[in-house]
Amino acid sequence: MDASIPARHRDLHHAPEQALALALARLQDSGERLTEPRRAVLEVLARHHEHLTADEVSVILATRGIHRATVYRTFEVLARRAIIAQRRQPGGAVAYHLVTTPSGHEHLHGVCRYCGEVTVLPADTFTASSRAIASASGFKLEPEQSAFVGLCTACQTII
């Protein structure tokens, strides 16, 4: 893996304040309104570099009077505007995170099926396979929207 790409997912992203500022700017630039629930959801995602489910975000925001249905609607808007990305976790839940990685650090996710640790994989890891699949079937993969499931280094030693 390219030494300039951190191996741990949480080390890849901007500081929370910078990530929030970028996300808010992208939302406003997209022409969407900046509502209090949208700001609150973005604040939560900026503070948590791990991928969060709608239920996890709803629990965090419950004290602010923001309901789960509002979180889901907000996720729909943010995903449509490519401000957040989603991926299916082992077990089927959908988790979300901000798309604010520094330029040049596009990446894939390797998710440990045992502990849930997210490891950064270089974006070009799947390039040749994606091309072969598209050539053979006409189906264009979007691996950045996917997670590769396996075992992290620590869990390989205990399983």
Q: Which amino acid is at 42?
A: L
**Annotated binding residue 152:** yes
**Annotated binding residue 3:** no
User: Is residue 37 exposed (0-12), middle (13-18) or buried (19+ Cβ within 10 Å)?
Assistant: middle
Axis crossing angle, helix 68-80 with helix 36-47, rounded to the nearest 10: 80
Structure tokens that stand for 104 in this block: 């040049």
**Annotated binding residue 112:** yes
Sheet holding 118-122, edge to edge: 118-122, 107-112, 147-150
**Annotated binding residue 1:** no
Q: Which residues are annotated as a binding site?
A: 112, 115, 152, 155
Q: Which residues are annotated as a binding site for Zn(2+)?
A: 112, 115, 152, 155
